[in-house]
Amino acid sequence: MEQQIKLRVSQIEKSFPGVKALDGIDFSVKKGSVHVLCGENGAGKSTLMKIINGVYQPDKGQIYIDEKPVKIHNPKQARSLGISMIFQEMNYVPEMTVEENIFLGRLPVNKFGKVDWKYVRKYTVELLKEENLPYPPDLLLKELTVSDIQMLEIIKAISYKSDIIIMDEPTSAITQKEVGKLFEKIAALKARGVGIIYISHKLEEIFQIADEITVFRDGTVVSNSPVGKTDIETVITQMVGRKISNDYPKEKISIGGNLLEVSGLESRGTFRNVDFHLRKGEILGFAGLMGAGRTEVMRCIFGLDPFEKGTVKLRNREVSVKKVRNCIANGVVMLSEDRRRYGIIPMRSVKENASLASLEKIIGKGFLNATKENTLVGELFAKMRVKTPTMETAIEALSGGNQQKVILARWMMRNPDVLILDEPTRGIDIGAKYEIYNLMSQMAKEGKGIIMVSSELPELIGMCDRIYVMSKGKITGEIDRPDFSQERIMYYATDTDTERA
């Protein structure tokens, strides 16, 4: 029996200054099914979802729920119509508690018109217990990891008891174990008759859960088919408009002497006795499970967090890394795993976000050289294929992948010797990943040293020369390229009997 169409959009169009984001989009999701949307960053997927969720208004076209035409003016109205959304860019307030974030924008009130905090606490405790999330409801979100916050965003959207749930990159910041839990939750929602729109760049995972797949390119629908009538290679070609023959364009590069040496680094309660080195022209990977301490080590090396013991040497000379400005001056830069919290300045233009760390190059005698800024930023954007209507566009209007490229351009403008990339391809499409991998190879050719922290083992194996593995705050293994394997990395990551590796 044909499944009932729960939501349908017809001939949706949306333009922003200088770009047509959506052009004549027809799309639908059936009751009790998962409809996956694929496409490169900037293809229009998130724009369409924001229209369905009432964040944007379409220029043309119509939305139907249960085949009845509706106009959705804001997210609150969308929720009243049974629609909820997990956003690609996590919407949370770091200084608020877990319970406050779960009820953000919908705090219940009692008969006296005051917030019913007793109900808020009771509901949050039950929700956390049901989802097996081990933290108190009054904990501030800034104390949680990106993975924990993403799981909270997921359960918050599900808690609305909606008929249609939009999941925009829900697995981009969670562990494999948590992905398994999410897929179980999706199966339960399907059984309940919920229609799910699922956006992801992880093509292997979408084939595990999809019923239908629609591919977007440049604001148009290029294909729509049941999952059994397509495959990964076809979807990739449809997404990027060309074949990508090699997922990991790793080149054989001559590796030089030590560029960075870290000895005996220790931060109480986080990591201990961390020793490693990075050589010129090397791409060095850091693997490990969530909470292993990888990001914490990198934050200390970049001057973001203090540490109790240890030394850092650059070019055989001990340097102070207590302040970020000292690290940048010494040629060390870092791309954070949480671009919204630590990377972008949302209201400022893409140009300002890119030139932010190199103001001394474009300011002279107290004046900004706008021509030079435009030239420097423009050259980098062209090289990195940043999709933006203009350089004056606010960075918050760009897709997540293009935001990531802008932040990477910011650091490339510094021409650093050491580039720390923490989850650089999180939430980025396969075409943009390939471009970032090419940039990494190019920088390695120039003799720069790159540290790549990633939870995706295939990309570490595909791009790195060596990999250090961390578990429970210590380095448990060092693996050279000829010995790479996912099994070997996982032995070290789980701190298993490493002799067997």
pLDDT tens readout for residues 410-462:
998 999 999 999 998 877 777 778 888 988 999 999 999 999 999 888 899 99
How does residue 267 score in pLDDT terms, banded at 50, 70 and 90? Answer: very high
Correct CATH for 5-95+140-240 of 3.20.80.10, 3.40.50.300, 1.10.3720.10, 3.40.50.970: 3.40.50.300
Phi, psi of 205 (to 5 degrees): -75, -30
Interval 31-38 mean pLDDT: 93
Q: Cα separation of 58 and 46, whole Å? A: 13
- How confident is residue 324, by pLDDT bands cut at 50, 70 and 90? very high
pLDDT higher than threshold 90 for residue 148:
no
- Is the pLDDT higher at 194 or at 157? 194
Given the DSSP bridges, would you call strands 466-471 and 283-287 parallel, antiparallel or unpaired? parallel
Tell me which of 114 and 384 has the higher pLDDT.
114
> Is it the case that residue 497 has pLDDT exceeding 70?
no
Q: What is the pLDDT of residue 74?
A: 92
Output the 3-class SS for 125-139.
HHHHHHCCCCCCCCC
The pLDDT of residue 89 is 65
Q: Answer whether residue 104 shows pLDDT above 90.
A: no
Average pLDDT, the chain: 88
Mean pLDDT of 383-387: 83
Averaged pLDDT, 337-358? 86
State the pLDDT confidence band at 244, using cuts at 50, 70 and 90: low
So what's the pLDDT on residue 1? Answer: 53
Distance CA 323, CA 331 (A): 13
Is the pLDDT at 177 greater than 80? The verdict is no
Note the pLDDT of residue 499.
Answer: 40
Closest CA to 166 of 154, 179, 151, 183: 154
Return the CATH number of the domain spanning residue range 257-331+416-430+443-501: 3.40.50.300
**Start-end of CATH 3.40.50.300 domains in the chain:** 5-95+140-240, 257-331+416-430+443-501
Residue pLDDT, tens place only, 460-472: 999 999 999 999 8
Whether the per-residue pLDDT at 391 is higher than 70: the answer is: yes
- Residues near 484 by beta carbon (within 8 Å), at least 6 away in sequence: 461, 464, 467
